[in-house]
Every structure is written in structure tokens, then in C-alpha cells.
Amino acid sequence: MTTSIDREVESRLAEQDVRYTRGRRMVVAGLSSAGGPLSAAELHAGVGNELPLSSLYRSLAVLEEAGVLAPHHGTKGLTRYELAEWLRGHHHHLICTQCGAVEDVAVTDRHESQVERVVDEISSAASFTPVSHALEIEGRCARCT
């Protein structure tokens, strides 16, 4: 099945003369259907341990380099990846300190513009040029309350 995200990734990679191979498609598909960022190990398990780990890691690196994926450095010794914002849309994260789950959360335009105003004011006061921001909320998820 070819989704719309698949098609967008396809053309993005074509622009950069990077092939959209079977393994890379599996990674994108795995992350497309996830509710939050996934680690290499989680992706590996998610595809029934097809796709060798070395290839999986290489695919993650290639797709990150191509701007298709964004790394998310969460808990200790583990990098999780998610689709880049131009594919999935901007969002923030709810991180459960109990079970460790990271959940995507959409954000309204009103909230987003408020956050952006704060980001811009903080940045300009520090002579910093902001490119993006991440608002991460830690606490207890609905299941762990």
C-alpha cells in the first residue's frame, strides 16, 4: 500500500538522488503508524525482526540526513525517531515518567502562536536565532494515573 506520506517521501528522496528502498519503506511505514517516536529496537520488533539491525540503523541515518526523520533523544541510551514535521505536522510530546511512553499531542493554532511568541522573545533577548522548538510535558499518562 502506498500512502500519501509514502509519496511525499518518495519525491523528497528522488530530489536528493537517494533510493527509496524496501528497508527504508519499512521504516517510514513503521513510524507512520506509530503514536509517538520509536527506537531502533522498537521498529525492529515491529517488523517481526525482518530488516537486520545494521540495515535498520543505516536507514534511520539516511532518512534523517534526507530530512525525512527527526531524532528524539529521550530516555537514557536510546534514540527514538519520528517523521519530520513537514510530514507529520508540528506537535508536542507528553512523556510519562511512570511507564516511559512518549505520546504525540496536536496543538491548536492559538497555543502554537503563544508558544512561538515566547520562543521569539526569549531568543532575541539572547541573540539566538531560533529555527524550531520542542515543548515536552512530563507527568503521568492517563493509564498510569
Give the binding range for a copy of itself (CB under 8 A) out of 1-9, 18-26, 41-49, 97-105: 97-105
| Smallest separation (angstroms) from DNA to the CB of 14 | 10
Candidate list 6, 8, 42, 104; residue touching Mn ion; CB under 5 A: 104
Q: Say what angle helices 53-65 and 22-32 make with each other, to 10 degrees.
A: 80
Residues 82 and 28 sit within 8 Å (Cβ to Cβ):
no
Sign of CA dihedral 111, 107, 41, 8: negative
Query: Is 48 among the residues that bind DNA (CB under 7 A)?
Result: no
Q: Give the binding site for a copy of itself (CB under 8 A).
A: 71, 73-77, 79, 92, 94, 96-97, 103, 105, 107, 111, 114-115, 117-119, 121-123, 125-142, 145
